[in-house]
Amino acid sequence: MRSFFMTLAPERADTPALDVANPAVGLSCRHCGATYPLSPSHVCVECFAPLEISYDPDLLGRVTRESIERGPANLWRYVGLLPAGHDPARRVSLGAGWTPLRPAPRLAAELGMKTLYVKDDSANPTHSFKDRVVSVALSAARELGFTTVACASTGNLAQSVAAHAAGAGLRSVVLVPHDLEAGKTVSTGVYGGTLVAIQGNYDDVNRLCSELAGEYEWAFVNVNVRPFYAEGSKTLGYEVAEQLGWRLPEQVVVPIASGSLLTKVDKAFGELGKLGLVEPTPYRVFGAQAAGCNPVAAAFARGVDTVAPVRPSTIAKSLSIGNPADGPYALDVARRTGGAITDVSDDEILEGMRLLARTEGIFGETAGGVTVANLRRLLREGLLDPAAETVIYNTGDGLKTLDPLVETGGPTATIKPSLRAFEAAGLGDD
């Protein structure tokens, strides 16, 4: 039995020599710059601003295009730029990342654009971009000595944490709002961890999570190990650049929940430029929200720096964070790069989902609909250049959010099983 196992997964048996050093050297405050050792903490004790990972520039500088290209066809090819997972034997991975960057010529034509790509993160193991952040966060959690991992989630994070914990033999405790889509609860519960439905919205769930984090020695992926978690999002920037042939795109459209993903795509592009892995060409970052949960878009429209919390009410549940932790940083990125942050109605979101499916054969979840619909709005308002090379992020699979499509998603016709009925319904060629 043991030899069978070792043949299948040799890297798990004897720990091989590490050839990639962990470039992370500590945590630093994003506001006042105070520094802390690498640890499960996310808030500066001096000023209460969020902490982020700081890196040794010399270690980051060891990463080359070749060293990345020699790596596995998953997000761990960028391990030299990440804060955890350097020992493959202890890495928590279901193989997330290295998802397709699909040319989208038919969608581009419909929208009057020149060059458009869809970075399709629905191809991840649990069908959303969250697998990237969770793989990095749980690797860090294990290295920090945790055996239980936990999270507050709008759905996708729940499934990803439950799956990765199961695959790594960690205990998971997942808290979700009670009104989540049935598909999302079922596809989280199946992994066998503890799943708790909370009678409240995501912000209530998150608040409870922060309280629990004070009581239990658990790794809360989006609380105490959030600095590690957030770094996983950088891989969505690295991959796009590598897949374009080590170039930065001119424009990207990124959906916003907490705003973390958007800021990390920008951080990734910046790092690649600084490290000489790409030409540091200019790019513009656009953020996409639903009108029913638009705190960052509203702040952008008002031209203010503070993000006023809202009470979410939209079909885009995976983006329903009314009080987004990285909102001000996302505003900053959009303004600094010459982008914008906009929002769209639920009807436009549904139309965006159908448009992407109909033109490119990609069924994105409501978050994908948010991105496509905002792309359309940005073009209409002249904020996004139709002639510039553009990448939009589809961050989840449409099968996760069937509910809002059920009413209009039926068959073209329902008929008797006869040729006559088929023709009478006008279904043949004309």
Ligand X SMILES: *Cc1c(COP(=O)(O)O)cnc(C)c1O
User: Contact residues for ligand X (CB under 6 A)?
Assistant: 128-130, 156, 233, 255-261, 318-319, 365, 367, 395-396
Three-state secondary structure call for residue 425: coil
Q: How many residues bind Zn ion (CB under 5 A)?
A: 8
32 binds Zn ion (CB under 5 A): yes
Among 46, 179, 305, 381, binds Zn ion (CB under 5 A): 46
* CB closer to ligand X, 137 vs 277: 137
In whole angstroms, what is the distance from residue 10 CA to residue 300 CA? Answer: 51
- Listing DSSP states for 103-128 in one string gives E-HHHHHHHT-S-EEEEEGGGSTTSB
CB atoms within 10 A of CB 72: 13
Q: Which does 172 bind (CB under 5 to 8 A by kind): Zn ion, ligand X, none?
A: none
Q: What string of H, E and C letters represents the secondary structure of 52-84?
A: EEEECHHHHCCCCHHHHHCCCCCHHHHHHHCCC
Q: How far is CA 351 from the centre of its chain?
A: 22
Question: What number of CA atoms fall less than 13 Å from residue 384's CA on the CB side?
Answer: 34
Cα(365)–Cα(357) distance, integer angstroms: 10
Part of the chain binding Zn ion (CB under 5 A), chosen from 38-46, 65-73, 113-121, 125-133? 38-46
Residue 32 binds: one of Zn ion, ligand X, none (C-beta under 5 to 8 A by kind): Zn ion
Q: Minimum distance from CB of 233 to ligand X (Å)?
A: 6
Tokens encoding 351:
């139309």
Which lies closer to ligand X via its Cβ, residue 80 or residue 324? 324
Instruction: List the single partner that 34 binds among Zn ion, ligand X, none, CB under 5 to 8 Å by kind.
Output: Zn ion
* Nearest of 95, 28, 88 to residue 55 by alpha carbon: 28
Contact of residue 236 among Zn ion, ligand X, none (CB under 5-8 Å per partner type): none
By beta-carbon proximity to ligand X, the closer residue of 352 and 396 is 396
Chain residues 49-108 in contact with Zn ion, contact rule CB under 5 A: 49
Q: Sign of torsion, CA 292 293 295 297? A: negative
Cα–Cα distance, 81 to 75 (Å, whole number): 11
318 binds, among Zn ion, ligand X, none (CB under 5 to 8 A by kind): ligand X
Closest listed residue to residue 397, CA positions, set 164, 131, 133: 131
Q: Which is nearer to Zn ion, 32 or 399 (CB)?
A: 32
Report in angstroms how near the CB of residue 54 gets to ligand X at its nearest: 20
Nearer to ligand X, 20 or 321 (CB): 321
* Residue 119: φ, ψ to 5°: -85, 110
Tell me which residues in 233-262 interact with Zn ion (CB under 5 A): none
31 near Zn ion, rule: CB under 5 A: yes
Binding site for Zn ion (CB under 5 A): 29, 31-32, 34, 44, 46-47, 49
